[in-house]
Amino acid sequence: MTAVTFDYTAPTTLNGALRALDTPGRTATLLAGGQSLVPLLTRREVRPDVVVDLNGVSGLAGIEIGPDQVRIGAMTRLREVEQHRELAAALPVLKSAAASVAHPHIRVRSTLGGSLCHAAPAAELPAVAVALGADVVLRSVRGARTVPAARFATGAGTTVRAPDEVLTEVVLPRADGLAYIFSELCTRGSTGYPVAGVCLGLRADDGLIRAARVVAAGCGPAPVRLPGVEAALRGRAVAGPHPGLVAAVVSEATQSPGPGPGPEDQEYRAEAVGVLLTRALAAQADQEGR
């Protein structure tokens, strides 16, 4: 099968891209890395009137590290996120999450903005963005707006981005005092498709958990934070044991609203998140014990 016929435009400025999207009566689709869009086009799951290629737009890629926050351009490739030394020092969980995406050939083309906009329920970067409290910047000919990553994805493959908007950058705070770990379960080992994942943020003192942030991926239509599990972790020893933790994750993660996995599949994924969370706590305890 091949894609339906569409017009193609490759602007070189952001204003040019925004004008290309401002086409009432015509559907426009943005092309970033193309790792998700091209298969959708060839399977005719998307049928745009025009494809707007962002690869030639200047100023949409790059990593800027400040004392309080990190700004990453939407067209920044995941391979750069993975290999950027200063970013790894500032927000190491971004390096590990990016390195978990498929394999290097995919990461060389895939972009941070494309990953967030594709909004796969179990994807790595959307879950980490939610856990870190990131903001997403959207621009159109009407102006700019900022949306918390926790409210950006509205379902599997859907976001709050309007058809005439471009995601231009992601802003991540770096001073919340938590140490973050990302872990996931994939099909076919580490290079397969993600089934479930968890991003754990932890602040510990004398071996006890003082604060926690837990975001589950794959259990519903979008990444979901688990405040009940976070509350249950506070005051526990990092090293455990953690009786009832998996059950608590399953109970809370399976309450995700909206269409998602079927009940049995959702429970399996939630159990996987619980096991991943237990392993992440053990890894953190081991790291603190060194």
Q: What is the DSSP letter of 208?
A: E
Q: Sort 251 into a burial class: Cβ within 10 Å, 0-12 / 13-18 / 19+.
A: middle
Assigned token pair, 224 = 């979901």
Note the pLDDT tens digit of each residue in 36-67: 999 999 999 999 999 999 999 999 999 999 99
Band of the pLDDT at 187, cuts 50, 70, 90?
A: confident
Q: Is the pLDDT of residue 155 over 70?
A: yes
Note the pLDDT tens digit of each residue in 228-257: 999 999 999 999 999 999 999 999 999 866
Note the pLDDT tens digit of each residue in 124-152: 999 999 999 999 999 999 999 999 999 99
Mean of the pLDDT values across residues 142-165?
A: 97
* Dist CA 92 CA 113 (whole Å): 19
Note the pLDDT tens digit of each residue in 25-34: 999 999 999 9
Contact 83, 107 (CB under 8 A): no
Sole residue written with tokens 């790059």: 62
CB proximity list for 186: less than 8 A, separation 6 or greater: 100, 192, 193, 194, 195
Q: What pLDDT was estimated at residue 176? A: 85
Note the pLDDT tens digit of each residue in 252-281: 999 866 556 666 799 999 999 999 999 999
When the pLDDT of each residue in the chain is averaged and rounded to a whole number, the result is: 94
Q: Is the pLDDT of residue 175 over 90?
A: no
